[in-house]
Structure 1
Amino acid sequence: MIVCAGRNETFNFAQPIGVGLIESAINLTRVCLFDKPDFLLFIGSAGSYGRFNIFDIVESKRASNLELSFLREDSYTPLENVLESENKFARNDTIVNSSNYISTNFELTKEYNNYGIGIENMEFYSVVQVAKEFEIPVAGIFIVTNYTNEDAHEDFLGNHKEAMRRLTNYLIERKIIK
């Protein structure tokens, strides 16, 4: 099953599950309870912490939930903050970080690269968490629309339409969709 965030990031071949960690977790749980898929593929946009360029495509099976305060050593969590799916679908080991907030401090977010975290997407951590709970293999395919800097929102808006076209073409080339 192919899922995506929703709102302005929808595809006719993917089921929208909501924006952010909470909406996506609730709606994906509902999907899994009523019609459990054999495999989940999340597709969407991402912001780069500097390692990837605009319109790069990143595949991953690893997600994290590390807030910016973690980088400043201003917080800790007793929760598992990096998750990984056991599958061979994804071609990249980049960890995708998720938060309900979009990062805009590029100097600080570059530090995520030191932990193997290369991009951020608001939903992927909750998607991996739900998939893990239901024992469903999961992967994500992301296209970079912006860097995590002060222009993140404007760049996202300016690049979004072209990014969705390129992501769809990539899925066709990989024979994931027709």
Structure 2
Amino acid sequence: MESFEFAKAVGIGMVEPAINLTKILLNSKKLPKKIIFIGSCGLYKDEKLLKIYTSTQAFNYEISAIMGLSYTPIKINLSNVSQKTILINSSNFITNSAEISKKFKNLGFTAENMEAYSVQCVANLFKIDFECILCSTNYCDENAHENFIQNYPKAKEIITKYLKSKGII
């Protein structure tokens, strides 16, 4: 569903994009200077829907850690990130709990997108600059999926218009 005629689709979730983007880059004659990942995102709280959010910072912070049910050896240091920076959280899930969403927001995250962290990791591996440009389609609550389905067509238009206005496409 999230595809654009002017962009290469890399897959859904955390694993597919890592594999597919790596294949694309390994088969490229020349590496790009920058990878711009585009798509939709869900918001963790009060921000505006159908608005563009850009970031160079994606993380993988799981719900189970927020609930105190797990830990990770991956160090996630949010304390050295500027308050003006939009932080994107990625995982193989979509948050559909307003209570958990609030906890992500309290950690400093603005939004979630399933693929951003994966794409950023591949870009980092190849020493390529990374940016994600996302349009918010829903809040991360019990209506997340229905609102995503309803708002995605408009979000796709907004992303395309934004990219054209910036001379990216």
Which residue pairs with 2:141 in the alignment? 149
Could you tell me which residue of structure 2 aligns to residue 121 of structure 1? 113
Amino acid in the other structure paired with 1:114: N
Runs of at least 4 residues of structure 1 off by over 6 A?
A: none
2:48 match: 53
Which residue does 2:81 correspond to in 1? none
Equivalent residue for 2:11, pick from 18, 24, 40: 18
Q: Distance in 2 between matches of 1:25 and 1:80?
A: 20
How big is each residue's C-alpha offset from its partner over 1:64-90, in whole Å with a ceiling of 9 and x where there is no partner?
Answer: 10011111222110124469xxxxxxx
Identity of aligned residues (%): 41
Contact 1:65–1:82 at 8 Å: present in 2 too? no
Distance 2:166 2:137 in 1: 20
Please name the residue that 1:9 is paired with.
2
Structure 1: gaps spanning 5 or more residues: 1-7, 84-91
Report the secondary structure of 1:175's partner residue. coil
TM-score by length of 1: 0.87
SS in 2 for 1:20: coil
How is 1:22-101 mapped onto 2 (pairs within 5 angstroms)? Answer: 22-35=15-28, 36-81=31-76, 93-101=85-93
Checking the alignment, whether the CA contact within 8 Å between 1:63 and 1:98 is kept in structure 2 is: yes
Q: How many residues align?
A: 162
Higher RCO structure (Cα 8 Å, ≥6 apart): 2
1:105 Cα deviation (Å)? 0.5
Structure 1 match to 2:127: 135
Helix, strand or coil for the counterpart of 2:95? coil
Residue aligned with 2:110, SS: strand
Q: What secondary structure is seen at the aligned counterpart in 1 of 2:94?
A: coil
SS of equivalent residue, structure 2 residue 71: coil
Query: Could you list the per-position Cα deviations for residues 80-112 of structure 1 after superposition, in whole angstroms to 9, with x for gaps in the alignment?
Result: 4469xxxxxxxx611100011111001111111
